[in-house]
Amino acid sequence: MTRFDTIIIGAGAAGLMCAAHAGPNTLVIDHAKAPGEKIRISGGGRCNFTNMYAAPENFLSQNPHFAKSALSRYTQWDFIDLVARHGIAYHEKTLGQLFCDHSAKDIIAMLLAEMSPASLWLNTTVKEITRNDGYTLRLDREGRDVTVTAPNLVVACGGKSIPKMGATGFGYQIAAQFGHDVTETRPALVPLTFGDQQKEAFRALAGVACDARVSGGGTAFEEAVLFTHRGLSGPAILQISSYWRETEAIRVNLAPGVDVFGGLRDVRQSRGRVAPATALAEVLPKRLAQDVAERAGAQGNIADMNDTALRSLADAVEAWELYPIGTEGYRTAEVTLGGVDTDGLNARTMESKSVPGLYFIGEVVDVTGWLGGYNFQWAWSSGWAAGQAI
C-alpha cells in the first residue's frame, strides 16, 4: 500500500491544475494513455485556454453564485500570467477568446511542468474506493493490482461528453457513493437537430455560414451560425444549446443590426426590377437568400410586392422560428451541463461539506461555461481552489 497526501482522479485540465498546487506527495491517476486529451484537441488544436472577459455571468449552474469565489481568486489574468511565464505565445481570436499561437500541446507541457514532482499514473483504473481515516483506492495499474491511500481525494474526471475520448461519468458515481446529489445532466455546447422536413431544407444549405442573433431559453447570442447536413451548428447555436429545452423554439435573426424591411423598401424604390432573392443577397449569403425568399413565398420582382409582403419577407430573415427536436448528444457535445450539486460543496475550497477530504473540481461539478474559453477557466480556477485548500 502506497501512501500519498492527495490522490486526484483525472489528469485533465482541472486535475493537472490541482496537482500543481496540492503539494509534492500527490498522485494523479487517469485511465487514458495520455494526460489532457481534451486540451490537446481543444480549439482546433490550439486550445482556447481562457477568455479575457470571463465573469460569473458566463456560467450556468443551479446556484449562479457558486463559481464566484474560485473565479475571483484565480482569474483569467492569473492563468494568462502563467502562460506568459512559460513563454507560450498566444493571441485573441475574437470576443476575448485566447488561443495558443502554436499548439494546445504547449498548455499540456506547461501543466505537466507545473505539477512535477507529483506522480502521474496513466492507464490506471479505479476498482474500488473506500473511506476509513482517509481514502483507500484499489487500482488496476497497467494490469497490476495496486492499492493507494491518502487523506484527500480529488474527483476531476470530467463529464460525459465525447465518450470516445474516455469520458465516463465516473465522477457522478463517486458523488453518489458518498451521498452527494447530482443535478440533471445533459449535453451542452452541441449542434441542434431537426425533424425530417427541416433537415432536408438544411441539407441544401450545408456549408453556408453567416453571423446571426439566436435567441431561446430567455437569452440570446450573436455569433456565427453554420448549416450542416444534420441540422444547425456554429458558435451561436452551440451557445444557445445550453439554454434550449425540448419542445421550445429558437428564434434566428439572420441579419442582426440590419433594417431589412427598410432596405427592401429602398430597393423597391430605386431598382424594383430585381428578384427578392437578389435583393436579400445584399445582406445574406446567396444560397441562404434564395432559401429565405422561397420560404417566405416571395414571387415576381420586389417592385410587385406591397409593404405587407416586404414585411413578411423581412420577418423570414429576422424572426425565423425553428423547433429543434434534439441535439447531437454527448458524441459531439463540448461539455456536460449539470453535475455534482454545488449545495453539497464549499465554494471556496470545492471540498464536500459532508465528507471531509473529498473534493470535486472541473466539469464534473454543476458549473458550465459558455463557449469561448470559459470552461477551461473554470477548470483552472476550481483546480487551483482545491489545490490551495489542500
Residue identified by cell 477557466 is 377
242 within 8 A of 249, measured Cβ to Cβ: no
CB nearer to ligand FDA: give 31 or 268. Answer: 31
Angle between helix axes 307-318 and 260-271 (nearest 10 degrees) is 140
Stretch that binds ligand FDA, among 58-66, 164-172, 195-203, 210-218 (CB under 6 A): 164-172
Dump the DSSP string for 64-76: TTTTHHHHHHS-H
CB nearer to ligand FDA: give 26 or 42. Answer: 42
Show Cβ contacts of residue 375 under 8 Å, excluding neighbours closer than 6 positions.
189, 334, 335, 363, 368, 369
From 4, 30, 202, 291, residue interacting with ligand FDA (rule: CB under 6 A): 30
Residue 143: how many CA atoms within 13 Å on its side-chain side?
0
Q: Is 43 helix (H, G, I), strand (E, B) or coil?
A: helix
Strands 368-369 and 186-188: unpaired
Residue nearest to ligand FDA (CB): 12
Dump the DSSP string for 275-329: -HHHHHTTTS-HHHHHHHHHHTT--S-GGG--HHHHHHHHHHHH-EEE---EE-G
Stretch that binds ligand FDA, among 163-171, 204-212, 251-259, 294-302 (CB under 6 A): 163-171
Binding of ligand FDA by 387 (CB under 6 A): no
Binding of ligand FDA by 110 (CB under 6 A): no
> What Rg value do the Cα atoms of the chain yield, rounded?
24
From 379, 385, 386, 390, residue interacting with ligand FDA (rule: CB under 6 A): 379
Residue length of the chain: 390
Q: By rule CB under 6 A, what count of residues binds ligand FDA?
A: 36
From 4, 15, 310, 313, residue interacting with ligand FDA (rule: CB under 6 A): 15
CB nearer to ligand FDA: give 166 or 263. Answer: 166
Closest distance between ligand FDA and the C-beta of residue 339, in Å?
9
Binding track over 344-363 against ligand FDA, x by CB under 6 A: ------------------xx
Strands 231-233 and 192-193: antiparallel
From 221, 227, 359, 376, residue interacting with ligand FDA (rule: CB under 6 A): 376
AA letter at 292: V
Binding of ligand FDA by 158 (CB under 6 A): yes
Binding of ligand FDA by 126 (CB under 6 A): yes
Binding of ligand FDA by 223 (CB under 6 A): no
The three three-digit cell numbers of residue 375, written as one number: 470552461
The three three-digit cell numbers of residue 143, written as one number: 494490469
CB nearer to ligand FDA: give 263 or 369. Answer: 369
Q: Where along the sequence are the contacts to ligand FDA (CB under 6 A)?
A: 9-15, 30-32, 37-38, 41-43, 47-48, 125-126, 156-158, 161-162, 166, 168, 170, 334-335, 362-363, 373-376, 379
